[in-house]
Amino acid sequence: MKRTEIRALFASAPADGASVTVCGWAKTVRDSKNIGFIELSDGSCFKPLQVVFEAAKLENYKDIAKAGVGTSLVVTGRVVLTPGAKQPLEVNADSIRVLGACPPEYPLQKKRHTVEFLRTMPHLRPRTNTFSAAFRVRSVAAYGIHKFLQENGFVYVHTPLITGSDCEGAGEMFRVTTLDAAQPPRTEEGAVDFSQDFFGRATNLTVSGQLEGEAMATAFGKIYTFGPTFRAENSNTPRHAAEFWMIEPEIAFADLADEMDLSEAMVKSVIAYVLETCPDEMAFFNQFFDKTLLERLNALINSDFARVSYTEAVEILSKHNDSFQYKVEWGTDLQTEHERFLTEQIYKKPVFVTDYPKAIKSFYMRVNGDGKTVAAADMLVPGVGELCGGSQREERLDVLTARMDELGLSRADYEWYLELRRFGTVEHAGFGLGFERLIMYLTGIPNIRDVLPFPRTAGGF
Amino acid sequence: MKRTEIRALFASAPADGASVTVCGWAKTVRDSKNIGFIELSDGSCFKPLQVVFEAAKLENYKDIAKAGVGTSLVVTGRVVLTPGAKQPLEVNADSIRVLGACPPEYPLQKKRHTVEFLRTMPHLRPRTNTFSAAFRVRSVAAYGIHKFLQENGFVYVHTPLITGSDCEGAGEMFRVTTLDAAQPPRTEEGAVDFSQDFFGRATNLTVSGQLEGEAMATAFGKIYTFGPTFRAENSNTPRHAAEFWMIEPEIAFADLADEMDLSEAMVKSVIAYVLETCPDEMAFFNQFFDKTLLERLNALINSDFARVSYTEAVEILSKHNDSFQYKVEWGTDLQTEHERFLTEQIYKKPVFVTDYPKAIKSFYMRVNGDGKTVAAADMLVPGVGELCGGSQREERLDVLTARMDELGLSRADYEWYLELRRFGTVEHAGFGLGFERLIMYLTGIPNIRDVLPFPRTAGGF
């Protein structure tokens, strides 16, 4: 069977009367006695194809008219150009064959469903407009990131998921094990004997590929990771998932300014790519999720991001302490309310806040000349707050080990990481972008459960 | 500091005498009294840059001449075109500054190291030729796959890593847990109470994203997964890793022939893309790993893959049973020796073997009209044997449930999967390609530990 995808049919501008075979699922079926209309989707594009069918032409007219939403069909017919209408063409059916029926208990009947209801059926919800648009944008955004980085000479690195170490103590971790849960082997002292576990040691799911990424950056110069990351935090919020995807670029011979240039260019590039590639999906989100979405995204890609030091930002913000739930003072981390105030009220565009107090940042960040702050930069964007966070890494062995000692980190655990400084150390910097946060920003979808195809969150699945 | 990447320098054809600043790590440093030579690599390309430095020009000539392998440097100098030489240009240094010294205990001194030795230092080995080439090819191949599939309208899907189910019982799984290993909560009967685990149930690391991929394919028509996959098998072989990456495309309104067309086109496309994008790396592998590599890969992309049924293949092979360790007979699975004989001796090109006995294949494969075989297809390639395996999926609800009952699979566990057949079922098909196996095939590297940046295998890490 030679069939034409609906996307290709719309794109190809066929002649009026051209013969065509299309397959798809009926999104709606309407009929009025002798003529019926099917909205047919094959998933190749957001917009459905209108199929017109007539009692005069189809022997099985009545069966088709009764076909349930979700029925899969093969339609052979003729293209009818409809220049005045919403869609440029429709298909007038010469024959319609049912591939798979869809009974009335199909949950996706033609009516509004709440996202909460749809979350209970992750295997079916991608057939709805919202999730079809969300997951296509997700796919296109992922590719946009690969495209930007590959075209700029970055090497894509698969850092390990199963790990023995905890980067920066970034949170609770999942244990990975093949030991018998009920009767684990024990040491003489009665502790669980992880030396008998699969890898001969206790292992966890990674919370970040950054440290391994640094090792690769000091070989390839420019690398990125793009893979799953895990947090076993019991935070049942719209913004946290236990399993999510991160992009972590890392560049050598580079400082914090280079890192900001890169993250700004990458975020602009992926947003522009999605706007260009998914106009129908983005128009849908702009209409149903956030009326300012397109305006906000277009403003972002056309702005030069501002840059302000944390110290300066605290000065600015503390003048407005009356309007904040949490008061700002030097030394404390910025809350979302402060971040949004800065980017929405003060700068009215994205802004990098740089040089945070070292006490509130990670051990690997480069200590500035003042001894009090580190070369970190968070990218804040209107409507959201922090979109990604980066830093220049501490490349000086003595400063790094002193900092680790200060924080009580074991040098032995990080021996390989220290060797990157011992053997031809170079200035380097990088950032981490939570992929789901980017998709939420791109679509206006407010809950992380609705941008992940099969979400794993504290609430279970 | 405005620096030029070495890749850009080679690509840009600068004028003789042009001033340039490059950064990198010294791969070798040689000197003979008043003139010295550095092979400098910044990781941006496979070939190093030759830097010439002279006592007459550099105050720190003696320090540079003594710099250890691995030292990181900033070199400012003039381009000297060298049309007759191996490299099109070199740089004559006006100044060289040491960024990071590299002491003699640096393990990557200029001599041959075994891959086994290098495996003990995954953070440093990407600085060697072999691993630099391997991991760049890996990156380019990954992008080549995304590029081919995205340009052909596929939607990239992130299927979950943490899962409650075991696709097709494909092997031992890792448990993912946050329960106290020493004192897990117990039910009244004394069993471990997984309802108190993080997700309120026992969870594992996925062995395949196929089933979720099928759900997405019946919404988008054409999808692919590309993500990590896990097997807790205690097989300490050169071909097995506990953590590896898989690509699993899935297409709707498609049968086994469409699946073979797709996998053939994809494999050809990614190989062609790597050959075109990484000529230096591929020449290196052809020289040091497999002298027939380029010939074999070029033959593959220019051949039309053969197709033969399992039944026919068994007939052909059984005539040569004398030369096999395992004799071939209908009903048994093909061994690598048989696969290689077929593709290397009989067809002398890649071949799909189709329609295997259902008893040796998975429950979800479509049962053929003969009732004995299923619509499966393994792609066999010279030098390796099986490169990927695919099938048409059983779309008939009654046949699928009968098969599951036969195999003792619980319908309740697969309820959502069965709903894909209950609600508008369509013919669909897909395949799985082990990414590391592809990279081994592309590079001639015989051990999976050497194509994974940070391998996780049964031997530990």
Tens-digit pLDDT profile for residues B295-307: 999 999 999 999 9
Q: Is B162 on the interface with A (CB under 8 A)?
A: yes
Q: What is the pLDDT of residue B95?
A: 98
Instruction: Summarize pLDDT for A269-288 with one digit per residue, the tens.
Output: 999 999 999 999 999 999 99
Question: Residue B460's pLDDT is what?
Answer: 84
Mean pLDDT value across chain A: 95
Is residue B47 pLDDT above 70, yes or no?
Answer: yes
Residue B42 pLDDT greater than 70, yes or no: yes
Q: Which superfamily is assigned to B127-169+207-450 in CATH?
A: Bira Bifunctional Protein; Domain 2 (3.30.930.10)
**Residues A222-247, mean pLDDT to the nearest whole number:** 95
Residue A383 pLDDT > 90, yes or no?
Answer: no
* pLDDT band at A171; cut points 50, 70, 90: low
Question: CATH 3.30.930.10 spans which residues of chain A?
Answer: 127-169+207-450
B179 at interface of A, judged by CB pairs closer than 8 A: yes
Q: Is pLDDT above 80 for B167?
A: no
Nearest-angstrom CA–CA distance, A314 and A308: 10
B460 touches chain A (CB under 8 A): yes
pTM comes to: 0.97
Contact B135 A155 (CB under 8 A): yes
Cα A334 from Cα A348, distance rounded (Å): 18
- Which tens digit of pLDDT belongs to each residue from B214-248? 999 999 999 999 999 999 998 889 999 999 999 99
**How close A2 gets to chain B, by Cα (Å)?**
10
Percentage of chain A lying above the pLDDT 70 cut: 98
State the burial class of residue A248 (Cβ atoms within 10 Å of its Cβ: 0-12, 13-18, 19+): buried
Please indicate whether, in this complex, the C-beta atoms of B106 and A423 are within 8 angstroms of each other: yes
For residue B118, pLDDT over 50 is answered with: yes
Task: Fold for B6-100, please state it.
Answer: OB fold (Dihydrolipoamide Acetyltransferase, E2P) (2.40.50)
**In B244-396, alpha helices (H):** 256-277, 279-288, 293-301, 310-318, 336-340
The secondary structure of A292-356, three-state, reads CHHHHHHHHHCCCCEEEEHHHHHHHHHCCHHHCCCCCCCCCCCCHHHHHHHHHHHCCCCEEEEEE
Residue type, A307: R
Whether residue B103 has pLDDT greater than 80 = yes
CB–CB contact A126 B215 (8 Å): yes
Confidence class of residue A167 from pLDDT cuts 50, 70 and 90? Answer: very low
- The average confidence (pLDDT) of chain B is 95
Q: What is the pLDDT of residue A110?
A: 81
Instruction: Note the pLDDT of residue B168.
Output: 45
What percent of chain B lies above the pLDDT cut of 90? 92
Q: Does B378 touch chain A (CB under 8 A)?
A: no
DSSP bridge pairs for B428: B252
Window 98-127 of B: residues touching A by CB (8 A cutoff) are: 99-103, 106, 121-124, 126-127
Q: Edge-to-edge strands of the sheet including A162-163?
A: A162-163, A203-205, A175-177, B175-177, B203-205, B162-163
Least CB-CB distance to B72: which of A179, A426, A460? Answer: A426
Query: B-contacting residues of A 65-94, CB under 8 Å?
Result: 70-72
DSSP B38-64: EEEE-SSSSSPEEEEEETTT-TTHHHH
- Residue ranges of chain A that CATH labels 2.40.50.140: 6-100
Angstrom CA distances, B178 to A154, A241, B37, B378, stand at 36, 15, 56, 39
Identify the pLDDT of residue A165: 62
pLDDT for residue B86: 85
Question: Which residues have C-beta within 8 Å of that of residue A84, sequence separation ≥ 6?
Answer: none
Mean pLDDT on A245-264: 98
